[in-house]
Amino acid sequence: MFGIPGKAPVTLTPAARAQIARLMAKDGAHGLRVGVKKGGCAGMEYTMEIVAAPQPMDEVIEDGPARVMIAPMAQMFLFGTEIDYQTSLLESAFKFNNPNVAEACGCGESISFKTQPAG
């Protein structure tokens, strides 16, 4: 919807691709649906859910065995984002390397986006 022809709106690291494929296989799901919602101390939060089917207006990205659906409201906020999956001693989580983020809160759960000039 907000894409550039021939360029995926989001990219996946090998770790994210493998984790999404594991989640899909475990749950027999269609893929991981990603979105944004209002909330948190910085104003917006990412949402993620394993889904059985995409919604009609979702942008669908297939990368090997992994499939990501981007909710319509999130498409302009996520364009150019790299999704990674990181494991540490304390947590395992998807991380969003998003060039559209202006700031993030200290806990990393909440973000705000750069404002776009009217044009």
Supply the pTM of this predicted model: 0.80
* Tens digit of each residue's pLDDT (9 = 90 or more) over 70-111: 998 888 888 889 999 999 898 899 999 888 776 666 555 655
Looking at residue 117, its pLDDT comes to 40
Give dist(CA 102, CA 112) in Å, integer.
6
Task: Give the residue among 71, 67, 53, 81 at the shortest CA–CA distance from 1.
Answer: 71
Give dist(CA 20, CA 31) in Å, integer.
7
Give dist(CA 45, CA 53) in Å, integer.
22
Domains of the chain: 10-113 (2.60.300.12)
